[in-house]
């Protein structure tokens, strides 16, 4: 399988005790984003070229950080929850601070898992 399929398979494991985040950062390419439409719709299943199907689990999230949606089809845009944040309005520091405050302390649990 390809790089994305390998990451997808690793992160979508019901045995994981924590939430996995897949962050896709870069321009939207019309070809590969169309292949993710089954992930973005209600099915939440990645279908590979060899017809293998890898379902998205409840403990996995996917985020796309893109500069623009010029190459995204209306179908892709309608499936994604889109948030526009201007860099001049909000930097990364408040987002990181908010995330750290809300995050539970997992350090004790990780020692037990080893």
Question: For position 57, what pLDDT does the model report?
Answer: 93
Taking phi first (over 0 means left), then psi (-120 to 50 degrees means alpha), and beta for anything else, what does residue 26 get? left
pLDDT of residue 54: 92
Which residues of the chain carry a pLDDT beneath 50? Answer: none
Closest CA to 69 of 113, 27, 36: 27
- The reported pLDDT for the residue numbered 107 is 62
User: In this structure, are residues 73 and 29 in contact, taking their beta carbons and an 8 Å threshold?
Assistant: no
Instruction: Please report the pLDDT score of residue 65 as a whole number.
Output: 85
> Quick one: pLDDT at residue 10?
92
Q: Give CA–CA dist 62/69, Å, rounded.
A: 17
Q: pLDDT at position 97, please?
A: 86
């Amino acid at each position: 399988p390809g790089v994305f399929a390998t990451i997808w398979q690793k992160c979508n494991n019901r045995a994981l005790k924590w939430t996995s985040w897949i962050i896709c950062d870069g321009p939207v390419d019309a070809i590969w984003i169309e292949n993710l439409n089954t992930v973005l719709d209600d099915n939440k299943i990645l279908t590979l070229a060899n017809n293998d199907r890898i379902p998205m689990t409840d403990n996995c999230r996917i985020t796309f950080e893109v500069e623009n949606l010029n190459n995204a089809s209306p179908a892709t845009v309608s499936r994604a929850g889109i948030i526009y944040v201007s860099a001049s309005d909000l930097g990364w520091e408040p987002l990181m601070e908010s995330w750290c405050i809300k995050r539970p302390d997992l350090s004790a649990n990780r020692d037990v898992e080893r």
